[in-house]
């Protein structure tokens, strides 16, 4: 009996304490008619993810959205079960819209479907899902792989030994990029892929893997890289003072290197393309325009334009925005791992550097309407649709022409 | 005149430990208490938490981890670490998605295939450890990597499609109230309770507590170990099966998050990571607690990077609380 | 009396023999691991003629240096029967603090670097306090610390750690001396120091005792509670230092830079011969394990097969290496070595 009492006292004390602590945590929300928007991240802790999330947060605080949007950020980690659970909680909490970077293109479909049935809008940025009722906003169908591969082939004149620096094994984005690139490389018998490694879209890993590949093949002629490409440059510099033509994504370090006369003299040429964090802002504005009925948009796959900056077009930004066609920031303002494509003067004029770095709105900015046309993304099975086929000419070049005949 | 017999009778007889008391003092009871407290918090902030629908969702979400933790318990009790859980879950998930078998019969066949895959991996682990003398963590590290590679060979990017019967019926409820996934868990628990009374079951605890003495007492340590690995492997296979039911597609890296979470669930459930003590039921509840924690934090309004900080603190608090309750009760009982 | 002295010297001789037997076993075990690494690098010639070169060895050693420093700390924690899962978060902490507090300005680098190491050690000590006094299992305690530190770093930097690397770290990681990278000399010095600490100091011996049987150690007079704190603090400081090394290596910090080192740090310790349950193993063995894992990774990434097949081969080679490094084989070889010495 005494035991029972002790147990009961302990339990009720703890319950009281936790409830007390809990009510402290939960603020009483004003019952305005605000749109309840959830920003659902899976990965966190890399520059791309943080900048994309900061852009959405900044836009949500820019007038008039600061009065009409209640935005909450939820980070689930790399476990798909956790993101499924997060989506379910958000649907239950009465979300109007969920803007998200999904961890899996397929595992979340059932939960998304249930949410759609309850009237929740799902907008995915950069990564996509194959669920038809979700909106996918991504550059992935814009041909990063094939266009950068052709650029590299053009620079190399159709022959040479190259490295392939990939992303994460077992990931659809990595697969799509690499398939596109290999489609081009396979047309040129003079191009040999001597090393193919997984860099996990990380500068450090790219540097380490490139160093290993260089030990085996010191006479490489060019490198085709996904994100983390600045690490490859560091590996080349550490080995000797020679660089090779490279294509990669859009880290600040890579772009500055492309424009640096010293690096160019050492042999660096190439193109900076890759995944723009600005996609998140575009997706958010599309979602808000749909929610506020300014736009009538049925669930579809939307293509975000592929950034394309060859070495001779790199221009240093003087201020905090992409003005006058500038497209890279000085090293004093941002680290080399900063992903540069956070701006789009056409779609997102309300942003400045502070938005991407800290998630703060730009003083004096107000939300501008988006251009009316939207580019529909072609079907990509396994990426943005499940029972579909890729159109003919899936790997059509859009940014560049082949200057060398296969 | 006080005699020896008087003093003897004057001293009260020691109370026999009731099974209820034993259960509560053990890790299982404590984690059950933690789970109930967390659920109460969840319901307090989100009244719809008490609906069948929400409970079913929670059970569906927790079942794969719960099954994996249940399997891991076998190996941990026998004083070992089984890392191959990540590999088996990935492999079975990929096989379910690339070779779907339709209908109820197909679902049963798929379940058997998953068990066989898990059992074979478990047997390999058992032989490496018991017959060839490798450390458990080292051997299972190797098998995990090999299984991971096999999964990538079968399916190199997320895709495939799990059979409809599996994804619809197994995440549904029976009679509208009982989640089907919960029935799987119940079955495993019943089998476990029966297993504990067998010689092998007792032997499992014995070799975990002190292998030398167990051998001297006649326990066939090698055979019990191999059995533990096979049982664990089969449970990982079923975990992969239930994961496929939930996600409806295949992902070659599906098992990776399971590695850390499985051990956390086992430790939270009161099983000692140095063997000899613990219960499968505690591990299942530990898995449930981990999945519930996310929901509790969400409904409590915790967001952004604070979620991580709170998760860490709550984990530590839960264990401290459990230790405190256990210590209080032991003191109680001694008086 | 003479007889007594003979017996005593006889006993001493046996003790010495047993002692030297143990050293021989350790040395054989370590030699085997190194031998396997060399064999692996030489065999990689079959994959590509450019492999198996001195250049590749230097690359492997440079890349292995991170793992070597890391697995010293992890090895100490495993030695006392625990596990340190907070290593990735502490690598990040060390790196982020270095770029944020020092950066390329180099201002105060000579006292700020030690301060950052002390901060990391304090975090490790907190984990240790949780394990020792609050009786939280090391798995959960270090995992909780890891989650909290990683989330705090995310909040602190808003996702993008600013700042580059101080020139001292750049010098350490990028310069060469007589054709060999400076970091390799540095690592060798560290290895000798760490090995001496673990195997030949009083504290090291007490840690072995603690790991073998905590109760016995306590009865024997070892202040087990305070001693048990040390490995967690040392492990955290090692991880923080590896964060600094990584900052020098790639001239910057990111929030996930430590993630890929979690499993390899445990694997290196275990492959090197330590028991995961504590009480055995030497650091030299762990170093061998670290080098073996790094060589394996280098060779595997040079194989021109798909990711799946590469992973399968890597796992198979690890199992094969473990079978070769099994205790019994080492004992047999060691005995033969002793017999040959006589």
> Using one digit for the tens of pLDDT, what is the confidence trace for C78-91?
998 889 999 999 99
CB contact B81 to C (< 8 Å): yes
Distance, CA of A366 to chain centre: 24
Q: Do C326 and B134 touch (CB under 8 A)?
A: yes
pLDDT of amino acid B133: 85
Instruction: Round the average pLDDT of chain C to a whole number and report it.
Output: 84
pLDDT band with cut points at 50, 70 and 90 for residue A25 = very low
CATH entry 3.40.190.10 includes domain A144-273:
no
Q: Which of B65, B155, B299 sits opposite A89 (nearest CB)?
A: B299
Q: Which of A49, A197, A234 sits opposite C159 (nearest CB)?
A: A49
Show which subunits contact B, needing at least 3 CB pairs below 8 angstroms.
A, C
Show which subunits contact A, needing at least 3 CB pairs below 8 angstroms.
B, C
pLDDT of amino acid B275: 79
Residue C208 forms part of a structural domain: yes
Show which subunits contact C, needing at least 3 CB pairs below 8 angstroms.
A, B
Mutate one of B69, B142, B330 to test the C interface: name it (highest C CB count within 10 A): B142
Structural domains present in chain B: 42-330 (1.10.3470)
Q: Do C48 and A215 touch (CB under 8 A)?
A: no
pLDDT at C23 over 70: no
pLDDT band with cut points at 50, 70 and 90 for residue B278 = confident
pLDDT of amino acid B180: 85
Q: Residue A193: what are its φ and ψ, rounded to 5°?
A: -85, 105
Q: Do B65 and A81 touch (CB under 8 A)?
A: yes
Q: Do C154 and B308 touch (CB under 8 A)?
A: yes
Reduced to 3 states (helix: H, G, I; strand: E, B; else coil), residue B13 is coil
Of residues C120 and C215, the one with the higher pLDDT is C120
Instruction: Round the average pLDDT of chain B to a whole number and report it.
Output: 86
pLDDT of amino acid B320: 86
pLDDT of amino acid C92: 94
pLDDT at C7 over 50: no
- With beta carbons under 8 A apart, name residues in chain B contacting C137: 267, 272-273, 319
Query: Å from C63 to nearest chain A CA?
Result: 7
Q: Which of C140, C271, C311 sits opposite B268 (nearest CB)?
A: C140
Query: Å from B144 to nearest chain C CA?
Result: 8
Out of B203-217, B229-243, C310-324, give the one with best mean pLDDT: B229-243
Q: What is the ipTM of this complex?
A: 0.83
- With beta carbons under 8 A apart, name residues in chain B contacting A179: none
pLDDT of amino acid A3: 58
Q: Do C267 and B138 touch (CB under 8 A)?
A: yes
pLDDT band with cut points at 50, 70 and 90 for residue B23 = low
pLDDT at B204 over 80: yes
Mutate one of A47, A51, A216, A334 to test the C interface: name it (highest C CB count within 10 A): A216
Residue C337 forms part of a structural domain: no
pLDDT band with cut points at 50, 70 and 90 for residue B321 = confident
C61-89 burial by CB neighbour count: b if 16+ within 10 A, else e?
A: bbbbbbbbbbbbbbbbbbbbbbbbbbbbb
Mutate one of B80, B149, B322 to test the C interface: name it (highest C CB count within 10 A): B149
Where in chain A do CATH 3.40.50.2300 domains reside?
32-139+275-306+340-399, 144-273
> Using one digit for the tens of pLDDT, what is the confidence trace for A203-260?
999 999 999 888 888 889 999 999 999 999 999 998 887 899 999 999 999 999 999 9
Report the domain count for chain C.
Answer: 1
Name the helix (H) or strand (E) containing A16: helix A2-25
Question: From CA C318, how far away is CA C324, in angstroms rounded?
Answer: 10
Q: Do C139 and B273 touch (CB under 8 A)?
A: yes
- With beta carbons under 8 A apart, name residues in chain A contacting C58: 215
- With beta carbons under 8 A apart, name residues in chain C contacting B146: 311-312, 315-316, 319
- pLDDT above 90 covers a percentage of chain C that reads 31
Mean pLDDT calculated for residue range C45-58: 75
pLDDT at A323 over 90: no
pLDDT band with cut points at 50, 70 and 90 for residue B235 = very high
pLDDT at A169 over 70: yes
Q: Are B136 and B82 in contact (CB under 8 A)?
A: yes
Neighbours of A291 (CB within 10 A): 16
pLDDT at B185 over 60: yes
- With beta carbons under 8 A apart, name residues in chain B contacting C309: 149, 153
- pLDDT above 70 covers a percentage of chain B that reads 92
- pLDDT above 70 covers a percentage of chain C that reads 89
pLDDT at A12 over 80: no
Question: What does each C-alpha distance from B47 to A162, B33, B54, B310 come to in angstroms?
Answer: 59, 20, 10, 22
Please name the residue of chain A whose CA is at the shortest distance from the CA of residue B61. Answer: A81
Mean pLDDT calculated for residue range C15-38: 66
Query: Å from C279 to nearest chain B CA?
Result: 13
A222-225/A160-166 β-pairing: parallel
Please name the residue of chain B whose CA is at the shortest distance from the CA of residue A78. Answer: B257
Residue C340 forms part of a structural domain: no
Q: In terms of DSSP H, where are the helices of chain C?
A: 2-43, 54-79, 87-97, 109-132, 138-157, 167-174, 182-200, 202-212, 214-219, 224-250, 262-271, 283-301, 307-324, 327-341
B56-69 burial by CB neighbour count: b if 16+ within 10 A, else e?
A: bbbbbbbbbbbbbb
pLDDT of amino acid C50: 67
Q: Do A170 and B328 touch (CB under 8 A)?
A: no
Mean pLDDT calculated for residue range C265-279: 86
Q: Which of B147, B272, B320 sits opposite C136 (nearest CB)?
A: B320
A309-310/A270-272 β-pairing: antiparallel
CB pairs under 8 A between B and C: 143
What is the CATH classification number for the domain harbouring C281? 1.10.3470
pLDDT at C12 over 60: no
Q: Do A336 and C164 touch (CB under 8 A)?
A: yes
Residue window 268-297, chain C: list those with CB within 8 Å of chain B.
Answer: 270-271, 275-277
Among A197-206, B209-218, C8-17, the range scoring the smallest mean pLDDT is C8-17
Out of A109-118, B173-182, C212-221, C247-256, give the one with best mean pLDDT: A109-118
Residue C242 forms part of a structural domain: yes
Mutate one of A18, A102, A111, A115 to test the B interface: name it (highest B CB count within 10 A): A18
Q: Do C307 and B152 touch (CB under 8 A)?
A: yes
pLDDT band with cut points at 50, 70 and 90 for residue C303 = confident
pLDDT of amino acid C34: 83
> Using one digit for the tens of pLDDT, what is the confidence trace for B90-104?
999 999 999 998 888
- With beta carbons under 8 A apart, name residues in chain C contacting A44: 154, 159, 255
pLDDT of amino acid A355: 86
Q: Do B146 and C323 touch (CB under 8 A)?
A: no
pLDDT band with cut points at 50, 70 and 90 for residue C173 = confident
Chain C interface, Cβ < 8 Å to A? 48, 50-51, 53, 55-56, 58-60, 62-63, 92, 99, 150, 153-154, 158-164, 174, 246, 249-252, 254-257, 260, 297-298, 301-302, 304, 307-308, 311
Strand order in the sheet with A191-198: A191-198, A160-166, A222-225, A246-248, A270-272, A309-310
Q: Do C160 and A337 touch (CB under 8 A)?
A: yes
pLDDT of amino acid B16: 53
Instruction: Round the average pLDDT of chain A to a whole number and report it.
Output: 87
Out of A384-388, C171-175, C315-319, give the one with best mean pLDDT: C315-319
Which architecture characterizes domain A32-139+275-306+340-399 according to CATH?
3-Layer(aba) Sandwich (3.40)
pLDDT of amino acid A54: 93
- pLDDT above 90 covers a percentage of chain A that reads 49
Question: From CA A84, how far away is CA B62, in angstroms rounded?
Answer: 11
- With beta carbons under 8 A apart, name residues in chain A contacting B33: 11
Among B9-13, C165-169, C200-204, C279-283, the range scoring the smallest mean pLDDT is B9-13
> Using one digit for the tens of pLDDT, what is the confidence trace for C128-157?
999 998 888 898 899 999 999 999 998 888
Residue C334 forms part of a structural domain: no
Query: Å from B315 to nearest chain C CA?
Result: 7
pLDDT at A156 over 60: yes
- With beta carbons under 8 A apart, name residues in chain A contacting C308: 169
pLDDT at A97 over 50: yes
The distance in angstroms from the start CA to the end CA of chain B is 29
pLDDT at A13 over 70: no
Residue B324 buriedness (CB in 10 A; 0-12 / 13-18 / 19+): middle
Please name the residue of chain C whose CA is at the shortest distance from the CA of residue A53. Answer: C159
- With beta carbons under 8 A apart, name residues in chain C contacting A169: 307-308, 311
> Using one digit for the tens of pLDDT, what is the confidence trace for B30-66?
888 889 988 998 888 888 878 888 888 888 889 999 9
- With beta carbons under 8 A apart, name residues in chain A contacting C174: 238
pLDDT at A149 over 60: yes
pLDDT of amino acid A1: 52
pLDDT band with cut points at 50, 70 and 90 for residue A332 = confident
Host domain of residue C268 = 2-325
pLDDT of amino acid A99: 96
- With beta carbons under 8 A apart, name residues in chain B contacting C328: 133
A361-396 burial by CB neighbour count: b if 16+ within 10 A, else e?
A: bbeebebeebeeebeebbbbebbbbbeeeeeeebbe
Q: Do A25 and B305 touch (CB under 8 A)?
A: no
């Amino acid at each position: 009996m005494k035991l029972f009492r002790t147990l009961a006292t302990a339990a009720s004390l703890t319950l009281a304490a936790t409830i007390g602590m809990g009510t402290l945590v939960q603020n009483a929300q004003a019952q305005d008619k605000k749109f309840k928007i959830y920003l659902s991240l899976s990965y966190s802790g890399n520059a791309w993810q943080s900048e994309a999330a900061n852009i959405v947060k900044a836009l949500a605080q820019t007038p008039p959205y600061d009065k009409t949007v209640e935005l909450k950020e939820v980070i689930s980690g790399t476990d798909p079960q956790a993101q499924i659970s997060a989506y379910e909680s958000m649907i239950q909490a009465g979300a109007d819209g969920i803007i998200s970077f999904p961890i899996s293109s397929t595992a979340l479909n059932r939960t998304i479907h249930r949410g759609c049935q309850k009237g929740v809008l799902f907008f995915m940025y950069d990564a996509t899902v194959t669920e038809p009722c979700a909106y996918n906003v991504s550059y992935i169908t814009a041909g990063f792989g094939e266009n950068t591969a052709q650029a590299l082939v053009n620079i190399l004149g159709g022959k040479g030994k190259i490295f392939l620096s990939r992303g994460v094994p077992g990931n659809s984005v990595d697969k799509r990029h690499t398939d596109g690139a290999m489609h081009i490389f396979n047309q040129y018998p003079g191009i040999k892929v001597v090393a193919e490694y997984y860099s996990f879209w990380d500068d450090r890993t790219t540097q380490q893997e490139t160093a290993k590949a260089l030990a085996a093949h010191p006479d490489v002629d060019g490198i085709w890289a996904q994100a983390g490409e600045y690490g490859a440059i560091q590996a080349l510099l550490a080995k000797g003072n020679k660089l090779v033509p490279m294509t990669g994504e859009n880290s600040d370090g890579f772009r500055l290197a492309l424009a640096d006369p010293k690096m160019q003299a050492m042999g660096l040429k190439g193109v900076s393309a890759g995944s723009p964090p600005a996609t998140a802002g575009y997706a958010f504005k599309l979602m808000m325009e749909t929610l506020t009925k300014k736009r009538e948009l049925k669930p579809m796959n939307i293509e975000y334009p592929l950034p394309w900056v060859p070495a001779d077009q790199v221009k240093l930004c003087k201020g905090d925005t992409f003005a006058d066609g500038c497209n890279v920031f000085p090293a004093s303002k941002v680290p080399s791992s900063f992903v540069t494509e956070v701006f789009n003067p056409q779609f997102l004029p309300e942003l400045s550097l502070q938005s991407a770095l800290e998630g703060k709105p730009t003083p004096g900015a107000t939300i501008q309407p988006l251009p009316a046309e939207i580019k529909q993304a072609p079907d990509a099975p396994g990426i943005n649709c499940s029972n579909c086929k890729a159109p003919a000419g899936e790997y059509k070049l859009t940014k560049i022409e082949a200057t060398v005949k296969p | 005149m006080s005699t020896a017999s008087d003093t003897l009778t004057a001293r009260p007889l020691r109370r026999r430990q009731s099974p209820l008391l034993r259960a509560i003092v053990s890790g299982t009871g404590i984690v059950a208490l933690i789970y109930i407290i967390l659920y109460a918090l969840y319901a307090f902030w989100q009244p719809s938490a008490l609906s069948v629908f929400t409970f079913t969702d929670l059970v569906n979400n927790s079942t794969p981890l719960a099954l994996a933790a249940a399997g891991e318990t076998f190996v941990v009790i026998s004083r070992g670490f089984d890392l191959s859980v990540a590999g088996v879950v990935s492999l079975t998930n990929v096989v379910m998605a690339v070779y779907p078998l339709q209908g109820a019969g197909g679902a049963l066949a798929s379940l058997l295939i998953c068990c066989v895959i898990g059992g074979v991996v478990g047997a390999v682990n058992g032989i490496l450890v018991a017959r060839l003398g490798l450390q458990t963590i080292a051997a299972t590290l190797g098998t995990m990597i090999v299984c991971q590679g096999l999964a990538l060979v079968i399916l190199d990017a997320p895709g495939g499609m799990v059979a409809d019967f599996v994804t619809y019926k197994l995440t549904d409820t029976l009679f509208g109230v009982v989640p089907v996934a919960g029935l799987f868990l119940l079955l495993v628990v019943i089998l476990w309770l029966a297993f504990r009374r067998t010689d092998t079951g007792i032997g499992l605890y014995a070799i975990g507590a002190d292998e030398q003495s167990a051998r001297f007492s006649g326990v066939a340590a090698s055979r019990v170990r191999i059995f533990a690995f096979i049982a664990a492997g089969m449970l990982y296979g079923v975990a992969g099966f239930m994961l496929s039911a939930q996600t409806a597609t295949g992902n070659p890296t599906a098992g990776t998050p399971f590695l850390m979470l499985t051990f956390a669930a086992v430790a939270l459930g009161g099983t000692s990571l140095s063997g000899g003590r613990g219960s499968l039921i505690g591990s299942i509840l530990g898995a449930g607690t981990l999945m519930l924690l996310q929901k509790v934090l969400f409904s409590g309004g915790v967001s952004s990077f604070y979620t991580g900080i709170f998760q860490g603190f709550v984990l530590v608090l839960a264990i401290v609380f459990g230790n405190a309750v256990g210590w209080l009760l032991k003191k109680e009982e001694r008086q | 009396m003479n007889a007594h002295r003979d017996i005593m010297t006889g006993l001493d001789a046996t003790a010495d023999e047993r002692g030297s037997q143990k050293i021989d076993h350790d040395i054989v075990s370590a030699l085997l691991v190194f031998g396997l690494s060399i064999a692996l690098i030489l065999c990689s010639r079959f994959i590509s003629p450019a492999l198996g070169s001195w250049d590749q060895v230097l690359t492997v050693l440079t890349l292995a240096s991170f793992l070597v420093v890391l697995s010293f700390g992890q090895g100490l924690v495993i030695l006392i029967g625990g596990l340190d899962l907070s290593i990735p978060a502490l690598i990040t902490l060390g790196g982020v603090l270095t770029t944020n507090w020092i950066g390329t300005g180099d201002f105060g680098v000579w006292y700020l670097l030690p301060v950052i190491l002390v901060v990391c050690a304090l975090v490790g000590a907190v984990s240790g306090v949780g394990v020792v006094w609050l009786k939280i299992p090391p798995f959960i305690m270090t995992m909780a610390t890891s989650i909290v530190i990683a989330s705090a770093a995310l909040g602190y930097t808003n996702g993008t750690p600013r700042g580059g690397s101080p020139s001292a770290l750049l010098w350490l990681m990028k310069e060469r001396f007589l054709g060999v990278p400076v970091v390799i000399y540095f690592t060798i010095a560290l290895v000798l120091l760490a090995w001496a600490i673990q195997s030949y100091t009083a504290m090291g011996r007490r840690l072995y005792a603690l790991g073998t049987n905590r109760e016995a150690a306590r009865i024997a007079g070892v202040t087990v509670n305070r001693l048990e704190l040390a490995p967690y603090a040392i492990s955290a400081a090692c991880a923080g230092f590896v964060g600094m090394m990584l900052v020098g290596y790639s001239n910057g910090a990111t929030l996930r830079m430590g993630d890929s080192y979690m499993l390899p740090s445990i694997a290196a310790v275990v492959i090197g011969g330590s028991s995961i349950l504590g009480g055995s193993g030497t650091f030299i063995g762990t170093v061998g394990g670290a080098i073996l894992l790094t060589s394996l990774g280098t060779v595997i990434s040079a194989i021109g097969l798909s990711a799946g097949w590469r992973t399968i081969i890597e796992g198979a080679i690890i199992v094969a290496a473990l079978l070769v490094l099994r205790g019994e084989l080492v004992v047999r070889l060691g005995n033969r070595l002793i017999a040959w010495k006589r």
